[in-house]
């Protein structure tokens, strides 16, 4: 979902470049070089394939991250490459399915077991198992401080952003209602 949110809600316009990257021109007028990435056939390999693009930082969901846990073992093998910062938005499952119509038409337990597929993997322990630094953040302010900190470190970092499937679905509903209202106001 992080890449879809950037695509849909970032506060600027997106221009494609010839080398496969996108430039997001933010309202402040600063271009951000970005790339959206998928694995071999979906969420598989997202982490490993992101290293190719990543000269600064990447963002991914927790299930996509966990699906490619072996990708963590590749990090230390990247001799002579710049350090990688991976932001994992951890809502303990696949939050994207809560935005689909199926979320309203299947029993809660069925939806949770077969779509959200929650997990209780501790990302901190997983990172430490691969000797990768880990930092948990709980707010936007924490995230901003954490990014400033890790980019001074010259080391690989996993930044885990704690999130929730329900709060995320609620916030998307709010964004959609607000967008509809703004469009209606603009058209009248
Ligand atoms: C190999 C593969 N298996 C299953 C899927 C179906 N799928 C699409 S999104 C998704 C969940 C993604 O969850 P997460 O990475 O945590 O992101 P979130 O939706 O929570 O932001 C799954 C299982 C897929 N795309 N590819
Ligand atoms: Mg998730």
pLDDT tens profile 130-157: 999 999 999 999 999 999 999 999 899 9
- pLDDT at res. 55: 66
- 63 ligand 1 Cβ < 6 A: yes
Distance CA 115, CA 107 (A): 11
Handedness of CA 84, 163, 22, 10 (dihedral sign): negative
Distance CA 36, CA 11 (A): 17
Handedness of CA 10, 12, 16, 21 (dihedral sign): negative
The best mutation among 45, 50, 63 to test binding of ligand 1, ranked by most ligand atoms within 8 Å of the C-beta, falls on 63
Is the confidence at residue 106, as pLDDT, over 80? yes
Q: How many CB atoms lie within 10 A of CB 83?
A: 18
74 and 106 share a domain? yes
Give the pTM.
0.90
Q: CA neighbours within 13 Å on the CB side: how many for 93?
A: 19
- Lowest-confidence range among 40-44, 89-93, 130-134? 40-44
Report the pLDDT averaged over residues 22-41: 74
- Report the separation in Å between the CA atom of 158 and the middle of ligand 1, taken as the mean of its atom positions: 19
60 and 109 share a domain? yes
Q: How far apart are the first and last CA of the chain?
A: 32
- Report the separation in Å between the CA atom of 99 and the middle of ligand 2, taken as the mean of its atom positions: 12
Report the number of distinct structural domains present in the chain. 2
Structural domain range at position 12: 1-36
pLDDT tier for residue 54 given thresholds of 50, 70 and 90: low
Distance CA 36, CA 17 (A): 13
Q: Is 131 left (phi over 0), alpha (psi -120 to 50) or beta?
A: left
63 and 134 share a domain? yes
Q: Which ligand is nearest to the CA of 99?
A: 1
* Structural tokens at position 120: 């209780």
131 and 47 share a domain? yes
């Amino acid at each position: 979902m992080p890449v879809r949110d950037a695509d849909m809600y970032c506060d600027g316009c997106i221009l494609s470049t010839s080398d496969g990257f996108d430039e997001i021109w933010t309202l402040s007028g600063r271009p951000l070089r970005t790339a959206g990435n998928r694995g071999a056939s979906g969420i598989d390999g997202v982490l490993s394939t992101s290293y190719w693009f990543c000269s600064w930082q990447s963002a991914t969901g927790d299930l996509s991250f966990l699906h490619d846990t072996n990708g963590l073992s590749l990090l230390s093998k990247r001799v002579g490459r710049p350090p990688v910062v991976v932001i994992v938005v951890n809502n303990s499952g696949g939050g994207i399915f809560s935005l689909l119509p199926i979320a309203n038409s299947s029993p809660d337990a069925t939806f949770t077991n077969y779509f959200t597929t929650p997990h209780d993997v501790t990302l901190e322990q997983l990172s430490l198992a691969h000797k990768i630094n880990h930092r948990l953040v709980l707010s936007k302010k924490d995230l901003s401080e954490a990014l400033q900190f890790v980019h001074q470190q010259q080391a690989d970092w996993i930044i885990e952003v704690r999130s929730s499937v329900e709060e995320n679905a609620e916030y998307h509903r709010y964004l959609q209602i607000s967008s509809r209202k703004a469009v209606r106001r603009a058209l009248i």
